[in-house]
Amino acid sequence: MQPFWKIALAAAAIAASALSGAQEIKARFGTSLPDSHPQTLGARKFAERVEAKTAGRIKVAVYSAGQLGSDLQMQAALQGGTQEFAAPSTATLAGLVKDFGVLGLPFSFADEKEADAVLDGPLGRKLLAQLPARGLVGLAFWENGFRNVTNNKRPIVRAEDIAGLKVRTMQNSLYIDMFSGLGANAVPMSVTELFTALESHAVDAQENPYTVVHAQKFYDVQKYLSTTGHAYDALALIVSKKFWDRLSAADRQAVQAAAAEATVYERTTSRALNAQLRAELAHLGMQINDVSPQERARMREKLQPVIAKYTAGAGEETAREFFAAIEQARKP
Ligand code: PAF
């Protein structure tokens, strides 16, 4: 026979764990862009789906426009367990896991369909599987889109027109080397400081998809938009491993299912907006010029040493899988 006090203690332990299973869980999702950008729209959709799938038990509050800090600061906060969710550019993650660097290699993807095939395939899964060792869990890839150069000096007609411009880049060595490789003066900084830097002429130029140029109102401080399309930028929906490990298996499944639904929504929204905002930016006064395929090929040629450096840096095997996956996606 068990003494009474032991039975009472066991019953209390069972009651406590049942209570924690029903307990409300609060999480924070930080984005670097305003409410109108697909990154934040996707975060809000994700929050809504998580809440719906857990009968309102897990609540995800979205803090947009860098309220929780820059992408780098949020990445560190997720690792430390003081923030739960974020969706930074995969270029930012390359600072932690070098293999992510392949995704940003210039002039790799021809269109979004190729990017989806690579990111949702074995290579994408292999990249995400490396995050837990760095204190993060990757749930999905979202889209920022093809990046174009804007500036207030001149249209980029020829590859040489980028030379001499002070170009803000992401705080990532691939992007710094990419623009240095094109002869620009690369100035890394967080996107949250960028409008002021463009307005005060601390930098002449920046590069981002139409959605970012519009959401950040860069049309107020930049005259020329040239469709360099020099890199496809994927975002990664990531969660703090410290938080993830505390969730029950059922809650993890609900969060993963919410991530899958939010991914379809985020990508669809990003594509619809990128298609529609070009005309809107022209209407808002930007001078838009299409960079010819020949000049893009010349830019790619100039960037061969950078491509070689980051292909080697990401690891031979990852690079081989990356280029093979693109080839595969191109097959009719
Ligand atoms: O330019 C940047 O910093 C990035 O495109 C983004 C997505 C705005 C922040 O990761």
Both tokens assigned to 312: 């080697």
What number is the ipTM of this complex?
0.97
Question: Which of 17-21, 30-34, 250-254 is the least confident region?
Answer: 17-21
The full set of domains in the chain, from first to last, is 25-330 (3.40.190.170)
Q: Is 167 in the pocket of ligand 1 (CB under 6 A)?
A: no
Give the pLDDT score at 22: 77
Average pLDDT over residues 266-280: 97
Among left, alpha and beta (phi > 0; psi -120 to 50; other), residue 59 is beta
Give the pLDDT score at 1: 40
CB atoms within 10 A of CB 126: 14
Is residue 219 within 8 A of residue 104, CB to CB? The reply is no
Q: Which of 72, 147, 192, 208 to mutate to test the pocket of ligand 1 (most atoms within 8 A of CB)?
A: 208
Instruction: Report CA(257)–ligand 1 centroid distance (Å).
Output: 26
0.90 exceeded by pTM: yes
| Average pLDDT for the chain | 94
Specify the residue with its C-alpha closest to ligand 1, atom 4. 89
Is residue 52 within 8 A of residue 133, CB to CB? The reply is no
